[in-house]
Chains A and B, each alone.
Chain A
Amino acid sequence: MKRNAISLLVHPYRNILLPPAELKQAVDSFADSQLKLTTEFPNVRWNLCLPAHLVECMDSILLSKLREVQKRGNLEWLCCGYTEPFLSFSPVWLTQENIRMGVETLTSLTGAKPMGFAPPYSNWEPSHIPTLDAHGLSYAVLSRALFPAASREYLGYWATEHMGTSVLLFPVQMVHAESAPADVSEWLESVFSRGKPCSSGIKTLCIDYLLPLAPKPAVNPFDWLRKAAGAIEQSLLQYQTVRMDEVFTESTPLGLQYVAANLVFNREDAESAPIFQDYLHTFDQVGLMQRRLMEVAENIRDRDSTKQLTQATRQLFLAQDINRYLPARVSGFADGDDRLWTYRRLIEVEEQLHDLDDLKGGQIRIADFMKNGSKSAVMSNRALKVYIDHRSGGHVMELDYRPRRVNICATYASTRFEVPRIVTPGVSRTSFVDHVLAPDARWEDYAAGSVPELGDFVGTPFEYTVKKTSDSVKCVLVRNGSTTVSDKTLPLTMEKVFGLDRDTASLSFIYHLTNPSLIPLTCTLAIEVSLYLPGAEHGEAHIAAGKTTCTDLVNERFAASDLTRWSLVDHRAGMQIILSAQKPVDVWCWPCAGSGAGVYHGTTMMIVSRVELSGGTPWKLMGKLECRKARTKGKVIDAC
């Protein structure tokens, strides 16, 4: 009787962000537990997949012990890249580099070149087959959920092909540490009994065992592995454990199988998500993060390779980590810390490029940042970077404070778009959104949604011009719009100017309203600014306006009148945002929709001013948003 083969793939992953020291400790702890298992079960063969940057930070003694196990033929290393790249969302060259560096690093550290590729979340892209082939990766390990239903029951491996290049595909049974079957023997029996063999009659089952690097305190993810190894050893006449590469030498492929671009949203999910890109694009932040990543990656790709750029590319490998994108319980783009961590990596790289270019003063870029066919104006200097969408109300989409590497506008809109429209700010939270309201509008009414919008400046296109002097850059946005007064539509021209002066961390804004008609017009201009303060969730951020202070930004609302200067302080990010206006204004603040009960998505702030325009006369409001460093408190996650 032929014995069935079981290939045990141990697959740790970074479930949450960890500071460097804790991460190293987690990796060492994992390696130590794995070594204990190999000692305990000397006849069991193991497969191990770990991102190369985690192998880099592993203790050298533990690593050398793993090498010894590998030399005995009881261990095979698989590669998933230098980090765990999001294949479908990243620029192709960056993913290629990530895989190349992953293979090289693993080869140098483990002493053997990996032959298998295990994409995180089984994120499969057929277009990457030539890359795998070029780097000597001859097979890929994918969740069975990605295969057609008719092929899922086969216990063997397939071949796949893309434009003349082929690799082998190994469908795996995903098992998560927290949801692993309690009775291993019974489970194995059921899987093998319903599984169909390959042409040689051998059934080969690959188990991809996912274990979080930072597990829950009460859970030991190695318990199940120990149990599984024990069960297999007890049934030696039925099962034998094999390394992945042994499978290919002992059996033939089941056939040619085309697997389209796909992934599994939850790692152990039994179903795949073939239209996952659409799903992700129904949120705004993930799309913006991806566009930022692509922008920075394109900038690096076009340059000659230097040592500094190698460092920058490594930062990008971390920024393309799939764990920071896919929404999960404790990670993903919906999590503020994860979002800011990705932005931090990108801002760091941008800073390096800015230094390399030796740029003086501000620069302005008009480019299709959103990849939607319309231009965005991106103004930057050494301290700030501002993204302006002139097509949709002249809003500020992103605002980076570079000295603290924070995206101040990284708010999260929990509301989903009905269709994937991340390129328009329908439900996204942007800043400098201009509302024209009734003259007697009150903030309680506005927050309750009972104040009608009288103007047509929200989400409508503005004409733009850019200005550049040796010291400053400016973006002038103009719209000849209208407003409704007593059921009459009156023309109203709005000109807003955003400017960056030299290399200061100060964004100036000037509003010019002109009434071209002869009828006097009275209204309220409310400028909506959405900001994300990472310290708010931890009680380390507050708003200060004169003697009034609001410390609970997650739950409380705040309003103040006749202010010319007020500030938002965040001790977690170590920054202070000072807003000032040339004339007294009212300020209304409340948490963004979806915030509350310990969940913070951002702070909406309205800068409100009464406007009185007699025929032909202009009205002007000048202001400034200035960022400064503040004292840092609390834990800043800066995982390597």
Chain B
Amino acid sequence: MRAEALDITIQSRDGAVWLHLAGPFHAEQAPNIREKILSLMQDGNREIIVDLNDVTHVDTGVPSLFLELLNTMRAKDGELRFIFKNDAVTKAFAPYRNLLDIHPDAEELMSGGLLGALRRRTQVLFRRTGIRLSRPVAIFLLVVLCSLFVSLAFIINLQSRRIAEQSREVEELRQWRQSAVAELDKLTSRLKPMEALGLLPDTSELPRIRRQIQALRQKTAAATPRAPATAPLPDTTKPQAPQQPADADSVAPTPPAGG
């Protein structure tokens, strides 16, 4: 009964198939195990974890069986991983240690940190989408993506600073305009009685002053729409400057320095 000495448990955990073997693993059992794992692959399982921690003895031909299965699995873009830390299995698999993905126990395999979780997630996504990427291509794509993200962030930062400067300038101009309009209104209201009495004989300067006011309004109006969509919204709580009649006769106040 050497051919049936090994106990086999096949179960699903976290999207992978776990194959737990227990008992002595004689060479006579190799065909049986090969057939079972190949059958699992044919059933569409692409991540198989072989737990050998309860294997008490391993014949010499057994590791080569798993190497063969590993090749078959990799050819199908799958993964064959191993769990063991017992002496009997470690000794038998020692020459092939670097070729196999070996973990001491299930906890270590499951808790591979952030990278491990990322890798597992990626594999699940690969399986779902059917997209396969080699490691260099994946790294290159990752670098390109990172560069794009950095450039984009730099441009956005630059733009934000310009927008902030312009917003500040617009705000200053708005404030100056408000004060200028208020001043003009005040002066106009003072001049109106004198004009009505005909005490302003010399009005030759009025057209020039009107032109100056018009220019000032145009400048202010031109500055306001230049504010981008991302600029802060105007404070609606502040009182809006009253609209000046087009033919208002008023004297423009002295603009602020540099205005």
Contact = CB atoms under 8 A, between A and B. Distances in A.
B139 to A, nearest CB: 30
A69 B109 CA distance: 58
Contact of A470 (B1, B4, B9, B45): B45
Given A373-B1, A468-B12, A365 B7 contact: yes
B10 A365 contact: yes
Contact of B4 (A357, A365, A374): A374
Interface string A354-365: 000111111111
Chain A's interface size range is 20 to 34
A361 B8 contact: no
B184 to A, nearest CB: 79
A466 B4 contact: no
Interface stretch (B36-44, B56-64, B81-89, B96-104): B36-44
B205 interface: no
B13 interface: yes
Interface in B22-45: 22, 35-36, 39-40, 43-45
A400 B255 CA distance: 95
A236 interface: no
Interface in A299-353: 302
Interface string A467-502: 111100100000000000000000000000000000
A368 interface: yes
Chain B's interface size range is 20 to 34
Most chain B CB within a 10 A radius of its CB, from A360, A361, A468:
A468
B11 interface: yes
B17 interface: yes
A374 B1 contact: yes
A302 B9 CA distance: 15
B7 A366 contact: yes
Nearest to A378: B9
A375 interface: yes
B123 to A, nearest CB: 14
A465 B43 CA distance: 12
Contact of B8 (A302, A357, A360, A365): A365
Contacts of A468: 10, 12, 17, 40, 43, 45
Contacts of A470: 12, 15, 44-45
Nearest to A372: B1
Nearest to A368: B7
Contacts of A361: 12
A390 to B, nearest CB: 11
Nearest to B16: A470
A531 B10 CA distance: 28
B2 to A, nearest CB: 10
Contacts of A134: none
A385 to B, nearest CB: 13
A357 B12 contact: no
Contacts of B4: 368, 373-375
A237 interface: no
Interface string A436-475: 0000000000000000000000000000011111100100
Nearest to B43: A469
Given A368-B4, A373-B4, A466 B11 contact: no
Contacts, number: 59
Given A468-B17, A468-B40, A473 B10 contact: yes
A367 B21 CA distance: 10
A470 B43 CA distance: 9
Contacts of A366: 7-9
A469 B39 contact: no
Nearest to B35: A465
B35 A363 contact: no
A362 B9 CA distance: 11
Contact of B11 (A302, A357, A465): A357
B12 A466 contact: no
Contacts of B43: 467-469
Contacts of B13: 357-360
A359 B15 CA distance: 10
A364 B22 CA distance: 14
Contacts of A362: 12
Contacts of A360: 12-13
A265 B4 CA distance: 37
A197 to B, nearest CB: 54
A400 B15 CA distance: 26
A362 B11 CA distance: 7
Contacts of A368: 4, 7
Contacts of A374: 1, 4
A465 B34 CA distance: 12
B45 A466 contact: no
Nearest to A470: B12
A358 to B, nearest CB: 7
A364 B10 CA distance: 5
A498 to B, nearest CB: 15
A239 B4 CA distance: 64
Nearest to A391: B4
Contacts of A375: 4, 7
A578 B79 CA distance: 41
B7 to A, nearest CB: 4
B17 to A, nearest CB: 6
A301 to B, nearest CB: 12
Contacts of A364: 9-11
Contacts of A467: 39, 43
Contact of A465 (B7, B8, B39): B39
Given A357-B13, A363-B12, A469 B7 contact: no
Contact of A469 (B1, B8, B35, B44): B44
A470 B7 CA distance: 21
Interface of B: 1, 4, 7-13, 15, 17, 22, 35-36, 39-40, 43-45, 54
Given A367-B8, A367-B22, A468-B43, 12 more contacts: A359-B11, A360-B13, A362-B12, A365-B10, A366-B8, A375-B4, A465-B35, A466-B36, A468-B10, A468-B40, A469-B43, A469-B44
The 6 A-B residue pairs whose C-beta atoms are closest, nearest first, are: A363-B11, A367-B7, A366-B8, A373-B1, A365-B9, A364-B10
17 contacts: A359-B11, A359-B12, A363-B12, A365-B8, A366-B8, A367-B7, A374-B4, A375-B7, A466-B39, A468-B40, A468-B45, A469-B43, A469-B44, A469-B45, A470-B12, A470-B15, A470-B44
